[in-house]
Structure 1
Amino acid sequence: MQTGFGLDSIAQVIEEEQSRSITAENPSGAVGAGGQASSNLGPGRKGSPCIDNIAPGETVTLAEIDGPGVIRHLWFTVFDESDVSEYVFRDLVLRMYWDDEDEPSVEVPFGDFFCNGLAERCEIESMPVVCVPDIGFNCYFPMPFRDHAKITIESEHPTDIAPFFYQIDYSLVPELPKDTGYFHAQWRRENPTTKGVDFTIVDDIEGAGQYVGTYLAWTALSGYWYGEGEVKFYIDGDDEFPTICGTGTEDYVGGAWGYDDSDYGGPKTYSTAFMGYPFHDTGNGPDGHGRPPSHGMYRWHIPDPIRFTEDLRVEVQQIGDHPQTHTYFERSDDVSAVSYWYQKEPHNSFPEFPDREERIPR
């Protein structure tokens, strides 16, 4: 059974796997049941390609699948704003449940899950997450399950969301290997952070697994360079000091020297297979809101997963640099993060998910 992806595997014929897909036209993924709805063009001619409407406060179940199986690909699209608010990406909440668990293994604002935090759209050209024009969100993290999978979307937007398109591609398999981990993703925000106290990307992970990615949405509330803080991984009982500690925030996502490019004239955005700094807003955007500068960046630990057998905590410092004196200083910024990892179930309960007002970007 394949749980990953790559050109080295596509020549292998696996007769025991069965490919299925869930859409608004075939919400159960049933065999031979795709595209049956009728339109003005007749039966089977794009009669129901989307959810027409998600009401405020409504939770829609996008998929319920009996296993064992592996979700291979997610695709979604939805408008990023409505007539009453521009925060659709933060107002929608994506949740995933494995094997009939009561609490989700994935609980993340919709846009942040796809590295489009701060309720702003940007293009992502990475291996597991791809966001392409116009607002096409794709995820290729394999998501295995033994008994059952459930995916929901909740709207806390103040008016109807219309329309919402989705496709969930998966395989049914005879069984999963005993060492298979389950996919998890969690969102946290601290607004503002506390000076001298590291921001917690994720903690209270217990069990065995591997950490596979981080997305940071960072709004700079102090002047000067914000990214001297080191990313730390406290693994299997680490206390005061971590086993893995980087050299700076932009270094963690593969950049250097503040993403500066003298030929470009300032911070230069980029998006690659495993790391990127795809979003930079100077704070003087076209909406005229006078927002502070904000940044979006990601790092996928796919070639280099962070293995743990007992527990894991991940943090990042908020440390700045004075450009004239080149001295470090403690900062207080608005930082949010998505952590992505695999582990054997059960998992610890997530912190209480912030309500809509606590998720609105500055």
Structure 2
Amino acid sequence: MPGIEDRLRAKATELGFAAIGIAPAEDDPLRAERLHRWLGEGYHGSMEWMAERAGQRQGVRSLWPEAGSVIALGMSYAPSGDPMALGDHPDIGRISVYAQGRDYHVTVKKALKALARWLVEQEPDSELKVFVDTAPVMEKPLGEAAGIGWQGKHTNLVSREHGSWLFLGAIYTTLELRPDGPHADNCGSCRACQDACPTDAFPQPYVLDARRCISYLTIEHHGPIPHEFRKAMGNRIYGCDDCLAVCPWNKFADTAARHRAFLPRAELTAPPLADLLQLDDAGFRQLFSGSPIKRIGRDRFVRNCLIAAGNSGDESLLDQVEALSGDPDDTVAEAARWARAELAGVEATAAT
């Protein structure tokens, strides 16, 4: 009979995971030191939960002393087309590839729980915990330690087989499983991701200043978007794929391995800004039901769309922008006033 590790891999594949690896549970002092240095620089911005539970986040056994092994898993969402193709269509909102399908939290966690139940059936005396992006767990370094990829210069995990397109989850278990060994770094001298960043969010390779990152600004950041980043946002209204999309390893990404839950919804692949600017709270909730976008709420989302509208040069959006300048949410109203000024400038230039 195959060993538990081989059976675990087979079951994970059956449940839709494209990548699986096993890492030891020992805390890694270097990993902890890098985390605390990053936090010390303030690169986490307003994501205070990163600092509040840093002591647990710094290592597996810092969170759960009884852990014996980590099972790192990845589910593919590899896109079929070019994620940057809409850059030349300023009247269209660009939504990050990962958010065009179903909410990955739900899909990955459901599969993790199914795998966990199976593992307990195989090893009844074992205990475990499952994690998907909502606990103090460093999934990307653990994925590297488990051999499913390496943390690239853009700080995301890169896989030889799946490129930069993996949703990550982890199972901590009391079992002492046979580890796979860490993955080697294959970035070499390439700096494509660093050069592609519209806001220069990488102070050095392998380090991200989230405060400058468009994904952070459009998703995590509350309040007005700093003016210095607004033009660089272009028509990106939820997340940014640029540093991922240019990675040369993506040419090997197997789109056939993409989980069906992450197939893009037609209405989210190229939504016109004119439609999105009309969204009230009820319309927003309906459109983004089952989507990770729903969690940022209507106000933050419309704020992002207004920045894109201001960058669009599309004078036909002026009436909608004007209407939002009196929005009850101060941040939306401020973004509308900025967009109105930008579009009015275009209109004035066209008239002369």
TM-score of the alignment, normalized to the shorter chain, above 0.5 = no
The structure with more strand, counted as a fraction of residues: 1
TM-score interval for Structure 1 and Structure 2 normalised by the shorter chain: under 0.3
The structure with more helix, counted as a fraction of residues: 2
Normalised by the size of structure 1, how large is the TM-score?
0.22
